[in-house]
Structure 1
Amino acid sequence: MSVNTTLTGAEIRARFLDFFVSKGHVKVPSSSLVPHNDPTVLLTTAGMQQMIPYFLGRETPPATRLTSAQKCFRTTDIDIVGNQRTLTFFEMLGNFSVGDYFKREAITFAWEFLTKVLGLPADKLYPTVHPEDDEAPAIWTEVSGIPDETIVRLEDNWWGPPGASGPCGPDSEIYYDRGPEHGCGRPDCKPGCDCERFLEIWNLVFMQYYQDFDGTREPLPRKNIDTGMGLERLTMVLQGRESVFETDLYRPIIDHFAGLTGTEYGKDPKTDVSLRVIADHARALVFLAADGVLPSNEGRGYIFRRVLRRAVRHGKLLGLDKPFLSIAADTVINLLGDYYTELRQKRDRIVEVLSMEEKKFSQTLNTGLQLLNELLTELNKKQERVIPGEQVFKLYDTHGFPVELTQEIAAEQGFTIDTAGFEEAMQRQQERSRAASQFVQKQDDRVLTEILQRHGPTEFTGYQGVAGNGKVLALVVDSQEAEDISAPQQALLILDSTPFYAESGGQIGDRGTIQGPMGLFEVQDTRRPIKGLIVHYGKLTEGHLRVGDEVQASVIGDRREDTMRNHSATHLLHKALRDLLGPQVEQRGSLVEPERLRFDFSSPRPLTPSEIAQVDAQVNRWIRADYPVHINVMPLQEAMQTGAMALFGEKYDDVVRVVSMGSSKELCGGTHCASTGQIGIFVTVQEGSVAAGVRRIEALTGRAAEAYLRQRSALVDTLATKLQVQPDKLEARIELLQQDLAAARRQIEQYQREAAQQQAETLASRAQDVSGVPVVAAVAQVANDKVLREMGDMVRAKLNQPAVVVVAAAFGERVAIQASVDPVLTKRGLHAGKLAAAVGQRLGGKGGGRPDSAQGGGKNKAEMGAALDLVPVLVKENLK
């Protein structure tokens, strides 16, 4: 069957999904570009990210066979988008098996779809595999008829997780041969070559391991399949185009803006770059905005802002002086909105976000470009090619001109920027900002003192509940009193009475809302910056608020209750530690939050596991006893006479609150449970050192403790299921596995040595004669650096005469070298360290060592053959 070049991108997407539905897969919609419950990445970068919970067994999939077209965003190459191939936003077609089928079915499906459904010529398709995967090439030969010797083994055929940890495994990449006219002309050109001839179109990942943060891998409970095929590349191949930008997925955008600017795509390389930037970035921005990403100065919001600014700048280069991104948005929505229906549903919101941000940046861009061009003209006159860091910082700090744009524009005109100087200027500014912040704090304190003198102290009503009425006494904006505020202004708000607890005694401040007749104020923190005055820090999210308004103050109830549980538990913990370790235990600090409690105490040594267990048991006994919590207000002296405990270094008023629960009695102004039973449960999660003679306990109560114990119980059950034992037999089972693992490692090491010995014999038989000296310079297939270091001695032993041996091996992304020279030959001018250095340099790295033994390495695996070819030449040149 011949290739169908008339298929549109949308038709290709549909054919892919329909094919896999016909093979029993369930079609699932694309997940958001904002990853769900995955803090390891800012944006969705691969089609399998929404499948990770299924692969790990954390969630039940809708079916064991799934297929999707997933929107993806990758940020690593934003600065070079505009060339013929690089994209930020793209669509990934994928089929997935969650413990259902594995390599054979994945390969069979891929071959059938490419050759029969799409009609790609079989002789144009080249599968590659991982060197250690012997199963995949055999299946490829059986399914496709491709001879084993033409299936390329590539070290890069290993798929890792999108973040630091996650599912992983070997993969099989399918390359399409675009023809020798796109190649480098070398006789050894093949898939994996850096030239443009062989284009990877599909990656079949055999997901069978879980990789931890430290790089260790464990087999997954079930083997899974994850495949990914870029729709844009596949469309380029099927439509016979030289670039993805020439396909129907981009040309409508490019042609629209070429028409607006009076240009024609393909006529001028400079305008072509700008048209490609707008086409890619417009698609990216529309999808980011549709998924709720808004411009900001951090995280994914900064990525949005950076992409938008780059698009606006290239629009200016094309002569688009008026805002144009709303037009671009509509073009993208019309192009892709039939499949991604959220684009049409959120069209108005997308356009609004893009228009507002573009308008905000346009003036900045005009001013910055003018100043930058003047600066480059001046540097040109002085024949200087580096923009001083101070000038780059001034453009950034004073005029808001992004550093990335300065760097990109500079590079286009043959300039670089002084990065170190920029960072120094940034650091100096940060120091000035910190000083200014302290000044603002002093200004705030001055204003707040005046308010306190005028109105008197705030009445705290929070001991009675989490809601109450009050009156706005004052509003402070930018260290100045204000009569009123409007959304979305930030402000400090002072009431005559409030249920909000101000941060004090280790307990953090309350959050919640203050509702006025015409506005809603969101309280983000509550503090007492000066004695007597409770200040609500936050912003008005709706409407207007003015001094004198009667308001309803509402604390977030669940948050307050969780905090009270932790505060009351802190008192019980203090008492339990003193009972167990002695009266020398003193509290040295605490933090009481809704999520956890932290308690610092004096102790010259760590607590033993047994002591921690005793403390937990005692605290939980007191919780089950459900002691009532009594609050008494009395003179300080009287409180001390009752045995109430005062905290080390704390200053108290003449009248204090005494909080009693069971045998615990402390001076405390915080909020507490009505009885100890309301704490629920107490669990210590960590004990450690914070300073000399000071230890720290972190613990959980209530809901957080329940979640923690449930998670631990689920982990034990999961491990027991994996190891096929009852939970109480886990420890014994793990000990047996550790013994088996140690024995297996010893056996593997023995096999590796035996294999290395056989390989050494083969390498020795291929030694070259260089001026009467046997020289071996070859690639060795070994498991690790240790075996490689032994290889040189093994080969020399096999030769049984003075010789030179240089062996190299690839380990992942790097190449390691071991050079060995017989001591007899070192006296004749040969030096292993110099050989290692020369070979390492050719590999893009370095090397060195003793005259008889040396190591080195680099990262340029493509140069391994050429680097080893240097060895006999160097031996001949240096041999005396």
Structure 2
Amino acid sequence: MKSQDIRATFLRFFEEKSHLIVPSAPLVPKDDPTLMFVNSGMAPFKEYFLGNGIPKNNRIADTQKCLRVSGKHNDLEEVGYDTYHHTLFEMLGNWSFGDYFKKEAIAWAWELLTEVYKIDKDILYVTVFEGSEEDNLPMDTEAYELWKQFIPENRILKGNKKDNFWEMGDQGPCGPCSEIHVDIRSKEEKSKIDGKDLVNNDHPQVVEIWNLVFMQFNRKADGSLENLPNKHIDTGMGFERLCMVLQGVQSNYDTDVFTPIIREIETISDTKYGVNDKQDIAIRVICDHIRTVAFSIADGQLPSNTGAGYVIRRILRRAVRYGFTFLNKKEPFIYRLTTVLSEKMGVAFPELKEQKQLIENVIKEEEASFLRTLEQGLLLLDGIISSSKSTQISGEKAFELYDTFGFPIDLTSLILAEKGFTLDEKGFQEELQKQKNRSRAASETSTEDWVVIREDAFEEFVGYDYLEAEVKITKYRKVTSKKDGELYQLVFNLTPFYPEGGGQVGDKGFLKDHQGDLVYIIDTKKENNLIIHYTKNLPSHLNDVFQAVVSSEHRKLSASNHSATHLLHQALRSILGTHVEQKGSLVKPASLRFDFSHFAKVTADELRDIENFVNARIEGKLPLEEKRNIPLKQALEDGAMALFGEKYGDTVRSIKFGKSVELCGGIHVKNTSDIWHFKIISEGAVAAGIRRIEAITNEAVKNFYFDTHSTLSEIKSVLNNAQEPVKAVQNLQEENADLKKQIEQLLKEKAANVAETIQNQLQEISGVQFLATKVDLDANSIKNIAFGLGQKHQNLFLVFATSSGNDKAMITCYISKELAKERGFDAGKVVSELGKLIHGGGGGQNFFATAGGKNPGGIPKALEKAKEYVI
């Protein structure tokens, strides 16, 4: 059975059981700051389990893209070394929100596996929760009795809390679960050891394929459990593992999900999978990681140096270094796998086909960049090895290579071993742990339980129409972090505050109680469909009716910049071409940032045309045409643009200014004239094929022109109010260039005179032509004199000192190469020692080195000490 059919069969089965089939959510969640990536099938549905939203249907099924590379669920380091762990995987799932429970979930799972997929019942095992004294929970006898209808009791195993109690996190919905495991070993292997002894013991052929979670509890901040208002079903079946079972192979990588990619890697690298263990690991790593990186880019997450982007960059670099080390690939090649990947998975996930060129460009550029890093790291590592006095390289130096330069530690270990050196691995791990502790401490957050003031209060957003509203607090909780200190999160029955989203920052403002006391709202965010208002302190009267007031200035400027991004997007597509697509944005009161796909630098003429295009629509006074809660299909038929990586519901909001039509939930001006003016501040590259424009509108433009005018006035004043300031500056530049030439000539003549004097001052000491003296020259002239004398004299040992002001001193040492080699002199060590006397340091090569310091008063002692090296 082909993988495409396996996926389709699952979805069709549950569709026939009255489940609504929904598409996979993007990998990067938009309204859940607790997750960096969607790491389980249930993550996109958290709001329904928490009771913060109403699902489209009480029964849902899907296949969800998941990524497990950080936090609690982290499989990254296992990937490649076994045949069943992955970073990106598909989770087939069926969900019940307060509808059916254990009986149906268990019966349908058994029906699908044994009657539809025809898996042999005798190779299946199931586990049930054995209970927990810690949580005062009994064994899940209900699930046990239900399973007895389908499978012999000797293959129903009791599992502990770790294996058979699923939790969303330290807090939140949770419940016991039943896992279904499959034993695909040969008959001979099965005769040696019973399969039940290998369940949950990381055996590559006895693996879990489906987890049925019975969501019925809520974990509170103090660790206690309370019943949820409704019971839910949350199941997840590993698509890749299911394919392994149904296709009769012994590894996920032997399924048709991966074999086309493996064949392509074999062709590109001129290797054969299944021959060499190290090469096999490398091929599996690359095969897995290309999927992760490609899907992430398609969903809008580009590699970067922070957050989710850093994780994607790290995964791609892991693939590159395995290809570099074990497949001998010294040039970009992983990007070439995007074609076979999009052909294989583009039917189920069309974003791979539609974003193929972007994915390819970004990966290729990232590969090339990291290969340059590897080349630089190899040179640095060679330097560390050559200067080491021991055959063991310190963990501190290896960590510096890893942390500062991004050089992989496993590659460091491999190269050291090849050269007969060892690594202080304990020291490296200590440095790594210190960094982790610093990072953990900086991001550590403590979240208390919600304190509910009003039950069953449904939150409503009224911010599109109002900046003020009478509100009631429905619940609150305290959050403490090292970064922000102690804050409170408030939820209202209705709110005019716009939460951060769609690139736009959240609103600020205040709450006013009946006594006139104010509590300031410092930020507004959305989490699992809840609009959360952040304050530094709680209101005195929590049961009061408050006047919620949004900062009108903050809102006005944010709206101005947000509407300008829509006009900018239209301008880019009109002037640069319809290949342009939005790839990210940031809208705040002070400015806007807009990332877009484009293959070349935007020229000055194009930038001018883009500015003029936007400003023409501002001057055109285009009114806002807003449509709320319209069907997605209708909005798209009206010409609205949908962005990749965004999750849209059945109904959407469209924003139209003239011919600019986009799906958007943000805040906008009522008329483009409210933007006042649009000014581009900068344009540049973000990644391969991605450009960024930063711009300002409204008050920021007024301030920009005011500051520019003030600066111009000051320049004219300095130029004695020249009528043509540009021409006056050009004249000054020409005069300055002439003066520079004259100074250079004078310095050359001065250096020649100094060189003549120095030559006459050379002393012969122990067969060495020696001189240590102070000179009044710049660093370049000193270097020229030293090398000039070196061409005329042998056995030369020179030390020059110079100073400028009261806090700058420099020492230069030149030693003839032959002399350095014969007598073991080292100019780098000389300046390092002498540099201490001027309160500084430096280094260089054994024949030429310099040191800088901040104590010119130490020069006489340094010159005196220099003589000791040759006596």
User: Which bin holds the TM-score, normalised by the shorter protein?
Assistant: 0.3 to 0.5
| Larger relative contact order, structure 1 or 2 (CA cutoff 8 Å, min sep 6) | 2
TM-score scaled to structure 2, two decimals? 0.48
TM-score scaled to structure 1, two decimals? 0.47
